[in-house]
Amino acid sequence: MSKYILAIDQGTTSTRAILFDTEGHIVGITQKELSLHYPHNGWVEQSAEDIWQDAQYVCRGVIAQYAAHPSDIICMGITNQRETTVVWDRATGEPLYNAIVWQDRRTA
Where in the chain are the domains?
4-107
Confirm whether pTM is higher than 0.85: yes
89 to 48, 84, 93, 95: CA distances (angstroms) = 12, 17, 5, 6
Confidence category of residue 108, pLDDT binned at 50, 70, 90: confident
| 56-97 tens-digit pLDDT | 999 999 999 888 888 999 999 999 988 899 999 999 999 999
- CA end-to-end distance (rounded Å), the chain: 50
User: Which fold, 4-107?
Assistant: Nucleotidyltransferase; domain 5 (3.30.420)
Please name the amino acid found at residue 81: Q
| 8-41 tens-digit pLDDT | 999 999 999 999 999 999 999 999 999 999 999 9
